[in-house]
Structure 1
Amino acid sequence: MRVTYLGPLIAGLQHPALHGYDLSHFSPSCFLVEVKEGAGLDGPLIEGDMLVVDEGRTPQHNDLVIALVEEEQCLFHAFRIGGSLLLIPPRGRDGAVPARWVDLRGVVVSQARRYVH
């Protein structure tokens, strides 16, 4: 599931999904991404969702993470297997890829939905 980098998370950042959201409790190492088209319109993650990502946090088993895969930032569940890392797409195990720790961009720490159905 691809994401678009929107920039560092700073107080005063304006985006419809963040209306009424208190940004002051997030670490300065956080940034914002938007889930791109192709994510679908149902489920816990949908197209247009905003994700707050902490690049300073170490991923734990099954954390949602942003990783650079084939030169695109994508969303995965991280599975730690000993010292190795396996990235699994949020919508199923098809497309799982082994990764290096340097491929990780950060751990998702919060989610905001632009539209409520």
Structure 2
Amino acid sequence: MRVNYLGPACLGIDHPALDGYDLSRFRPSCYLVEVSEDAGVGGPLMEGDLLVVDEQKPAQHADLVVVELDGEQRLFSSHRIGGRMRLMPTAGPCESIWARQSDLRGVVVSQARRYGW
């Protein structure tokens, strides 16, 4: 699923999902992305959710990770297989891809949801 880059977490970005959310607890290596409309409105990730991504955290098994593909940032679930990593899409076609740690743009460390749609 696509995610839209919003900027560094330390900038004090104004977003409805951040109401009462303390961004100062995150490292300077963190940035924010918003989940796009292809996530839908049901499930653990929904359109409009805000994700805090740490670009310095190494990915482990079953992490949510951001990868840049074809000029778009996309969200995947990581699956470690030996020293390699298989990335499974979180929505859409179920075609997985192989990746190296260096291919990743960061690991999701927190999620904020806007309530009251």
TM (normalized to structure 1)?
0.92
Runs of 5+ consecutive residues of structure 2 not aligned to the other structure? none
CA distance in 2, matches of 1:21, 1:62: 25
Partner of 2:6: 6
Partner of 1:19: 19
Partner of 1:110: 110
CA distance in 2, matches of 1:116, 1:13: 20
Partner of 1:64: 64
Amino acid aligned to 2:103: D
Report the more deviating stretch, 50-59 or 77-86.
77-86
CA distance in 1, matches of 2:22, 2:64: 21
Q: Which runs of 4+ in 1 moved over 3 A?
A: none
Aligned residues: 117
Deviation, 1:100, is 2.5
CA distance in 1, matches of 2:71, 2:114: 27
Say if 2:33 is the partner of 1:33: yes
CA RMSD of aligned residues (A): 1.6
